Every structure is written in C-alpha cells, then in structure tokens.
Amino acid sequence: MLKRAGITALSVLMLSGCAETHSINSVVTPTAPQKVTNEATDNSATRVPVCRKELEVIKTYSKTEYDAFLAEYTRVELQTSQYVRARENISPDINELALPRYQFQARELCFRIKTRLTQLIIEQK
C-alpha cells in the first residue's frame, strides 16, 4: 500500500509541474499563449512506472547497486508523499518554491537509474 501511495504521489507531483504554465507579460512584445502538449503530459504520467521497472532490471545486473538505488528511491518516495499530503495546507507561494525541488529530486534519480542501467547493459560481459 505504501509503495502504491508513493508511486501515486510521485506521479501526481510530476504531472502537477506540467499542468501549470507561468507567463511573463512583456510591455514591448506580446506573448503567445503557451500550450501543454499531450506528449509532455503522457511523458510525465509514464515516467515513474518506467523508472521503477528500470530499477527492477538493475537487480538482474547488480544486486548491490539495486539495493543502493532502492534505498534512495524509497527515501524520495516517502519525502514526496509527505509533501503531497501537506501541500493542501501550505500557501501557494511556499508550494511554488517546494514543488520544483520534489520534481527535480524524482527526475534526477530516475535519470541516474536510466543512465546506470544503460551502462550495465552496454558493459555486460
């Protein structure tokens, strides 16, 4: 149950970053409206489950590296789910500061998992 809640929390967090657009109004040049593409939304919705699957594949190549990544993944998952539970009671200006931290933390970990898995597959002897 905790695992599912963490994955859901990470997914919600990643999706929430795609849904908001901030525009800066220019006095000199009118700005064109920004669009959120379906591709960006689909990418965020699939990122966390793919990350988890790639982490599981690392186990077949290196149990030690899997254990280290799993511990970090679990830590990020718990921190993110704690933030998601609390964010309804936090002011919007604090959320604007906190949300990017949690989004970056999840994306960066998934990037490192993907990179290491790629290396392990390529270096396989």
- Decide if pLDDT at 121 tops 70: yes
**Range 30-34 average pLDDT:** 45
The residue extents of the domains of the chain are 2-17+43-123
The Cα 112–Cα 59 span in angstroms is 15
- pLDDT, one tens digit per residue, over 9-23 is 555 445 454 444 444
- Decide if pLDDT at 4 tops 70: no
- Decide if pLDDT at 94 tops 70: yes
- pLDDT, one tens digit per residue, over 34-75 is 444 444 434 556 778 899 999 999 999 999 999 999 999 999
User: What pLDDT is stored for residue 48 in this prediction?
Assistant: 81
Percent of the chain at pLDDT above 90? 59
The Cα 96–Cα 48 span in angstroms is 22
Query: Quick one: pLDDT band at residue 7, thresholds 50, 70, 90?
Result: low
User: What pLDDT is stored for residue 116 in this prediction?
Assistant: 97
Long-range contacts, 80-87 (Cβ 8 Å, 24+): 80/6, 80/9, 80/10, 80/13, 80/105, 80/106, 81/5, 81/6, 81/8, 81/9, 81/10, 83/9, 83/13, 84/9, 84/12, 84/13
